[in-house]
Amino acid sequence: MDNKCVSLSQWCDGMENCTWGDDEIRLFRSNFLLQMYSNVTRKWENVCSDGWNDSLGKQACEKMGYERNTYVGYEEIDYILAKTDSLSSSNLTGFLSKTSDCPSNKAVALKCIDCGRNIGTRIVGGTTVTSKGVWPWQVSLHISGVHLCGGSVITPYWIITAAHCVHEKSDARVWTVYAGYLTLPEMLSATGRSVSRIVMHNFDPVTNENDIALMKLSSPLTITLNVRPVCLPNKGMYFTAPRDCYVTGWGSLFSGGSSSQTLQEAKIQLIDRTTCNSRLVYDGQITDTMICSGKLEGGVDSCQGDSGGPLVTKENSLWWLVGDTSWGDGCAFRNKPGVYGNVTYFLYWIHEQMRKY
């Protein structure tokens, strides 16, 4: 990076017909720094806030696949904050400098959706979730009144789940999505949301590679204290072992058991890929599209019925979607932690589908 930011004149002339390419803008790090890919420098550069406005903000969010009505707003971030957010002196993507292109020396931080916020309290050491607002992005996916998988709300229209949940059940019309509930019995008398489209990644059922899918709802969810989106991780966010995460779902309480009637949670830790690929653990089966989390000593894990549901972590006071529950050897066995779809790896694909459909 050449320590510059992109001025508004280079970004767009302020007209409604801006011709930004689909892959030319992105959000960076946990402060939602807006960046544009410069065809001149061949690098990602921060967008200067001089002349920026909400109309441009809404257009940028739409280019990333968000609906216009979820737009929150933007902030101006000065270069000292951006510097502090850099990983190291060798990674200068966060830097800005005072240049004639950007007299204010401030960059745009863009919030396309109010995500990652929850209410309620968890029981320390507990497993049963007793408050609806604790994990408001958790959904239950049903066919014929039966819970099959979990999922995560990322916008009022879009749900992330696992591809293996829909691989053999890809007809959107058979699925119903329930958001804002804690128990399976209360869903029986509730009206869920129908699904208009299922978009599955290039999933390999033999290796579990690319185990991620998106569901688009026929009508948008109403965002309340109990139904909210989780934040998609932005580029430049790196979740490394042994970071604490939470996994939630209505899955079995033991390997081979039936679904739990009440939403469960478990606190687990990320496990680095080298350890997870070791001979005693998964012996080379873990690819870049996967992330491991759990406890090597066993005892705490996701299980059958949790598939597709969220693995989340907290950063900058917000909850971020690290993974979707994918596979594992049994449940909570020693040296057999849970394996999750690596959401950060799939970011471009996710935004591409949101734009397309």
The residue-averaged pLDDT of 49-69 equals 94
Please give the pLDDT value at position 16: 38
Give tens-digit pLDDT for 156-198: 999 999 999 999 999 999 999 999 999 999 999 999 999 999 9
pLDDT at 80 over 60: no
Element (H, E) at 348: helix 347-356
The amino acid sitting at 26 is: R
Using alpha carbons, list the distances in angstroms from residue 276 to 3, 309, 340.
Answer: 38, 21, 12
pLDDT band at 89 (very low <50, low <70, confident <90, very high): very low
Give tens-digit pLDDT for 4-13: 555 444 444 3
pLDDT at 18 over 90: no
pLDDT band at 90 (very low <50, low <70, confident <90, very high): very low
Please give the pLDDT value at position 122: 58
Catalytic-residue membership of 252: no
pLDDT band at 332 (very low <50, low <70, confident <90, very high): confident
Please give the pLDDT value at position 192: 95
Q: What is the rounded CA–CA span in Å between residue 311 and residue 323?
A: 5
> Is pTM, for the whole model, over 0.85?
yes
Please report, in angstroms and rounded to a whole number, the separation of the first and last CA atoms in the chain: 34
Please give the pLDDT value at position 88: 28
pLDDT at 103 over 50: yes
Q: What is the rounded CA–CA span in Å between residue 114 and residue 136?
A: 12
Q: What is the rounded CA–CA span in Å between residue 357 and residue 355?
A: 6
Please give the pLDDT value at position 198: 98
pLDDT at 126 over 80: no
In the three-class reduction of DSSP (H, G, I as helix; E, B as strand; rest coil), residue 69 is classed as helix
Of 7, 211, 259, 301, catalytic: 211
Minimum mean pLDDT among 65-74, 75-84, 185-194, 262-271: which range?
75-84
Of 140, 307, 326, 351, catalytic: 307
Structure tokens at 272: 């680095």
Using alpha carbons, list the distances in angstroms from residue 65 to 23, 143, 157, 170.
Answer: 11, 28, 11, 22
Please give the pLDDT value at position 212: 98
Minimum mean pLDDT among 6-20, 117-131, 242-256: which range?
6-20
User: Which domains are present in the chain?
Assistant: 5-111 (3.10.250.10), 138-228+347-356 (2.40.10.10), 244-344 (2.40.10.10)
Catalytic-residue membership of 164: yes
Catalytic-residue membership of 147: no
The amino acid sitting at 16 is: E
The three state secondary structure string of 109-142 is EEECCCCCCCCCCCCCCCCECCCCCCCCCEEEEE
Element (H, E) at 353: helix 347-356
Structure tokens at 249: 């779902």
Of 142, 147, 164, 351, catalytic: 164
